[in-house]
Amino acid sequence: MSVKMTRYKHADFADDDSVGSVQLTEGISSSATHIRYHTGSSMWKKRSMLEKALLVLVGTLLFVVMVLAFLLSSADRRIREAKLVNHKPTTIPDELSMMPCLNKSCIHIANGILESMDPAVDPCEDFYSYACDGWIRANPIPEGKSTWNSFLKLEQKNQQIIKHVLEQPLDDLKSKAEQKAKLYYESCLDLNDTVENLGAKPMLELLKNIGGWNITDSGFNVNRWSLQNTLQIIQNQYNIGGLFSYAVGEDDKNSTRHVLQVDQSGLTLPTREHYLNKTEHEKILNAYLDYMTKVGELLGGDPNSTRDQMSGVIEFETKLANITIPNELRRDEETLYNLLSVAELQDRAGFINWQLFFDNAMRIVNKKISSKDDVVVYAPEYLSNLTLLIEEYNKTAEGKIVLNNYLVWQTVRTFTGCLSKAFRDAYKGLRKAMMGSESGEEAQWRYCVSDTTNVLGFAVGAIFVREVFHGDSKVHAETMINDVRTAFKRNFKNLDWMDKETRKAAEIKADAISDMIGYPDFIQDPKLLDERYAILEVRNDTYFENNINLNKYTLRKNLEKINQPVKKTTWSMSPSTVNAYYTPTKNQMVFPAGILQSPFYDPSFPSSLNFGGMGVVVGHELTHGFDDQGREFDKDGNLHQWWNNKTIEKFKARTKCVARQYSKYQLNGKNLNGNQTLGENIADNGGLKAAFHAYMDHMKGKPDPQMLPGLSLNHKQLFFVAFAQVWCTAVTKESASLQIEKDPHSPGRYRVIGSLTNLREFSDEFKCKPGSPMNPKGKCEVW
């Protein structure tokens, strides 16, 4: 089977495998995923049906006898052990009452758990290795990927479903929106080699439209150039970021309205440290310069001149990195929020005329912004320093050329993935340096399903929901959410650091958290679905233009929200996504249909596994409403202080414990950043605890469930195994380092170990001695 190389289109250089945004790679043939059984003789074919049936029956009886013999032997051994250790012998009748479940479902489930485990590891020494080492050995990272885990495997399963429908005849699809998804998918596949035949032509035309690039022969004239005009073209026509970002979003302090928001932005590489720590990141910086140079050459630039000018762009980005505030210092939402008028913003950051800039943007939607209108500025210090930096470069023609080169580069890198293979291959070296993997041999259809989902997520969601999502899953998820919420709230009374008034307000907020499960209702109505994408133009032979249209469409849809009330039921994630999220300004959790599947949830699973998987996901999102950032928003999603001052001080002391704990963890000799990952770590810890207690409540008054065959674990222990196995991950060294530097989530290993070592109930269930690695004496507890 022939494959095409992966395209990297929206080149923000985020790892395409990262768990938090959504992932996706190469298909594995059935021969690689299923064990083949050989008869060893052709005599089987010659037997009659009766003979075959008798042989199968005898074989089954022999298997049952062997299992019973094993169980009795195991019971006798445990009785002897009990006499030696506990001096309290266990009776044979008790053992027989714990006969394992031997139906097909239980055997299948047990087999999956056992294959992922490494029973040779002591669970009290390293529970992640105990639960996951078998999985990691059996799941090497596929070619072209830098990370491999349960999220990615499930994502690939979802891709197969979507592909099947997108390849049906156009008239068989249920709406115009779904037809647009099919057309976009076909343009990405480039079945007629249109993209290859066009080569650099679409980009060269775009360069002329945005005023030219000094690196190429595209009409750039420094004497006619202005920063104002170029920013308005790039940001307000093509929706490309650079220097700063702006959007229309929910006002943090009045979550019923939309408001303009401005923040720091402009770095191409993932973090400021990639520019400032040149010794550690020399390999990446060199690969970045090579990538920029190759792209410039492909667009007609002279090799030496292109390299020199791109070096100037990196030098400018390094200066931007120097004034960019690190993310770990941007976690206090109250401090970040600065409400200014457009006129006040002009006084603070005069490097452009903001009134003209916003007027230019709002013409797209026939709206106006006055000098008195509000803008929420999240990085006033950055914008002030940016003004000084721009003034320095604007003094000379050479400086203006650098500024234009930088802004045009932001545009070029965004769309290079929509060009021919030569442009896509140019990125391979940088990807290898950053993530330890080149673009690999990912089947083109997989990339295109993922790309189509990113572009027309709700049209694809309609397809996915229709094919696989069942209403029962939605009902069961709702019940689980209520169970976890109840357990989470009940724990408030055990938190002696909370005063009564704050505790009562927290209970009210927890009750007020709304949830959306599966999908938004509008996707099942073809008329409403078509209306959403009515202005998006898509053809099956214009991949580059489709993406230009997409950027313009996305900008228009965002700007339309200005002065409009907030709809609390708006989704921000495609229904097929294997993920979930919490929005503080809506005080809302969302669980797409994509994650309501095995290994997170399955109707055939015992409750222990469903609570250990999906239950912890629910608890995680619920706890985000009370992490170091979420707790600053009240029940209505408004940012203000609604906690008692002394309670806030005690809360912060506890979060410092968590930050210190995770900062001590190392991966490949590199320490995690406990401040950067603080919110996610709080959510992991609180979510695990709430889900476990919800499971215990769920089982009250019910008989102990049968054990799973081959596993000497009770279901409370299986809860923790299920939780851990969700995070089994194989990852390259480079990708792990990148995650530590930029991801707000801890690596999978420490999402498991960090949460479990803080939970006394885990140590009790696995009888971990105090002071053992998984039961340290010093524990951190927030929720």
Tell me how far the alpha carbon of residue 309 is from its chain's centroid.
35
Query: How many angstroms separate the CA atoms of 377 and 335, rounded?
Result: 11
3-state class (DSSP) for residue 415: helix
Q: Report the residue count for the chain.
A: 783
In SS3 terms, 512-573 reads as: HCEEEEECCHHHHCHHHHHHHCCCCCCCCCCHHHHHHHHHHHHHHHHHCCCCCECCCCCCCC
- Give backbone dihedrals phi and psi of 374, rounded to 5 degrees, phi first: -80, 145
In SS3 terms, 702-726 reads as: CCCCCCCCCCCCCHHHHHHHHHHHH
Residue 747, token pair as written in the block: 């690596």
**Contact predicate 36/470, CB 8 Å:** no
Q: Which residues are catalytic?
A: 621, 684
**Contact predicate 1/416, CB 8 Å:** no
Q: Other C-beta atoms within 10 Å of 361: how many?
A: 22
**Contact predicate 470/607, CB 8 Å:** no
Q: Quickly tell me which residue has 């250089």 as its tokens.
A: 13
3-state class (DSSP) for residue 193: coil
Q: Which spans in 168-267 are helix H?
A: 176-189, 194-198, 201-209, 227-236
Please report, for residues 140, 149, 667, 713, 746, the alpha-carbon distance to residue 737 in angstroms, rounded to integers and kept in the order given. Answer: 19, 17, 8, 35, 11
Residue 265, token pair as written in the block: 């932005």
270: Cβ contacts below 8 Å, ≥ 6 apart: 12, 13, 14, 434, 738, 741, 742
Query: How many angstroms separate the CA atoms of 44 and 222, rounded?
Result: 83
Residue 173, token pair as written in the block: 């699809």
DSSP state of 781: -
Q: Other C-beta atoms within 10 Å of 30: how many?
A: 8
